[in-house]
Amino acid sequence: MNKTDELRIAQIGFLVTPDELSQRYPVTEPLAHHITHSRQRIERILSGKDSRLLVIVGPCSVHSPEAALDYARRLKILHDKYQDTLEVVMRTYFEKPRTVIGWKGLISDPDLNGSCRVNKGLEQARKFLREVNLIGLPAATEFLDMVVGQYIADLISWGAIGARTTESQVHREMASALSCPVGFKNGTDGNTRIAIDAIRAARASHMFLSPDKHGKMVVYQTSGNPYGHIILRGGKQPNFYPEDIEATTKALGTFELPQRLVVDFSHGNCQKQHRRQLDVAQNICQQIRDGSTAIAGVMAESFIEPGHQAIEPGKPLVYGQSITDPCLGWDDTETLLAMLSDAVKHRLNNL
Ligand SMILES: O=C[C@H](O)[C@H](O)COP(=O)(O)O
Ligand SMILES: C=C(OP(=O)(O)O)C(=O)O
């Protein structure tokens, strides 16, 4: 018989189920306590009940769990040091949306060579996330694939929908189901309206189709996520200036949404020049000092070594340096968090 589907499938492989992986790497009672309380602290900041600043910081992507855990241990020291002013959450990004093509993250290609050993990638990501939470840090990630969340979402305290997918209906449906607060980036061209529409869509109840934890196809009805918020990441132009923040809060107000937002120092706001994140941070610190109550959180891309590197066959990678977007190095990260904490101290003293 003439086959009429799967004509362009080169290979099919079996995947471990989410349930099997979570039995291997369980969320124990102390971990569940840490994650639940981290999410609640983030929710309080987003709803303006806590005037500290949410700071989502870490590598653009995790490619070496060893180096990223080294980073996590350093970050935990700063997390504790600044806990009166900052809620520090580590970026633990395993899925990368590409403008065209490129390495798509640890889950799809853990060996960084196109071999795409997804079972290994899923296991490494879950194991790594467990370790980050055991260190005592809350974890943040971007949810890109519609199924991957089933393997890791119980270990995530803050989620993002990226600039390339904020307008997508299925991503909004997924966000409406997630148990953590979810930030929506503005579009890559700078369109903020799509993120506001996404917040509104994700607050509603939806039906969506997905495999369950045992790999069986089910239809979920969601109850809606009340903790959606916009992330200003810049576009053709940066959008972190006071006038951008004012325009965005006004638009949020039109829809009776909380007038609180997150500013991404990286991406379109630093035009992918990593040290410019510090300039953006300086501007945001001034806005906080000047009394802005709209800035609930910030995001920065940082790792151990500054900049980024290309994957070249046969050439060893520099330890602790990004293989996707350029990141601030560790010294600049320390400076950044000290700066943010100082500005927030000022805001707290003036309440
Ligand atoms: O944050 C990461 C990148 O900005 C995003 O994945 C797009 O990367 P690319 O333009 O290099 O594909
Ligand atoms: C891909 C990312 O950002 P954006 O969606 O804003 O490009 C990211 O934060 O890793």
**C-alpha to C-alpha distance for 150 and 122, rounded to whole angstroms:** 11
Q: Is residue 258 part of a domain?
A: yes
For the chain, give the mean pLDDT: 97
Q: What number is the average pLDDT over the span 60-86? A: 98
Q: Is residue 253 part of a domain?
A: yes
Q: What number is the average pLDDT over the span 2-19? A: 96
Q: Is residue 249 part of a domain?
A: yes
Answer whether 162 contacts ligand 2 (Cβ < 6 A): yes
Residue 85 reports pLDDT greater than 90: yes
pLDDT at 18: 98
Q: Give residue 1's pLDDT band: very low, low, confident or very high (50, 70, 90).
A: confident
Q: Which residues of 20-42 are buried (b: 16+ CB within 10 A; e: fewer)?
A: ebbeebebeeebeebbeebbebb
**C-alpha to C-alpha distance for 266 and 272, rounded to whole angstroms:** 6
Probe residue for ligand 1, chosen from 325, 327, 328 as the CB with the greatest number of ligand atoms within 8 Å: 325
Q: What is the 140 CA–ligand 2 centroid distance (Å)?
A: 12
Probe residue for ligand 2, chosen from 63, 91, 96, 142 as the CB with the greatest number of ligand atoms within 8 Å: 142
Which residues surround ligand 1 with Cβ inside 6 Å? Answer: 60, 96-99, 102, 267, 324-325
Residue 153 reports pLDDT greater than 90: yes
Dump pLDDT digits (tens) for 88-145: 999 999 999 999 999 999 999 999 999 999 999 999 999 999 999 999 999 999 999 9
Q: What is the 114 CA–ligand 1 centroid distance (Å)?
A: 17
Cβ-based burial of 86 (10 A; exposed 0-12, middle 13-18, buried ≥19): buried
For the four alpha carbons of 274, 278, 283 and 289, in that order, the dihedral sign comes to positive
High-pLDDT (> 70) share of the chain, %: 100
pLDDT at 350: 86
The separation between CA 347 and the C-alpha centre of its own chain, rounded to angstroms, equals 25
What CATH number should be reported for the domain holding residue 153? 3.20.20.70
Q: What is the 162 CA–ligand 2 centroid distance (Å)?
A: 5
Contacts 24+ apart (CB under 8 A), 96-104: 96/60, 96/61, 96/144, 96/324, 97/142, 97/144, 97/162, 97/163, 97/164, 97/165, 99/164, 99/188, 102/324, 103/61, 103/63, 103/311, 103/323, 103/324
pLDDT at 186: 98
Q: What is the 31 CA–ligand 1 centroid distance (Å)?
A: 31
Q: Is residue 8 part of a domain?
A: no
pLDDT at 253: 98
Dump pLDDT digits (tens) for 189-212: 999 999 999 999 999 999 999 999
Q: What number is the average pLDDT over the span 66-87? A: 98
Residue 243 reports pLDDT greater than 90: yes
191, 304, 287: which is closest to 248 by C-alpha?
Answer: 191
Cβ-based burial of 116 (10 A; exposed 0-12, middle 13-18, buried ≥19): middle
Q: What number is the average pLDDT over the span 221-230? A: 98
Q: Is residue 315 part of a domain?
A: yes
- The ligand with the least distance to the CA atom of 188 is 2
Q: What number is the average pLDDT over the span 316-332? A: 98
Residue 213 reports pLDDT greater than 90: yes
pTM of the model: 0.98
Q: What number is the average pLDDT over the span 172-181? A: 98
Q: Contact 75/137 with Cβ under 8 angstroms?
A: yes
Q: Is residue 11 part of a domain?
A: no
Q: Give residue 164's pLDDT band: very low, low, confident or very high (50, 70, 90).
A: very high
Joined together, the tokens standing for residue 57 give 């910081």
Q: Is residue 202 part of a domain?
A: yes
- The ligand with the least distance to the CA atom of 99 is 1
Q: Give residue 256's pLDDT band: very low, low, confident or very high (50, 70, 90).
A: very high
Give residue 292's domain range: 18-349
Q: What is the 96 CA–ligand 1 centroid distance (Å)?
A: 7
Reported ipTM: the value is 0.97
Q: Give residue 148's pLDDT band: very low, low, confident or very high (50, 70, 90).
A: very high
Total tally of structural domains belonging to the chain: 1
For the four alpha carbons of 30, 135, 103 and 270, in that order, the dihedral sign comes to positive
Q: Is residue 7 part of a domain?
A: no
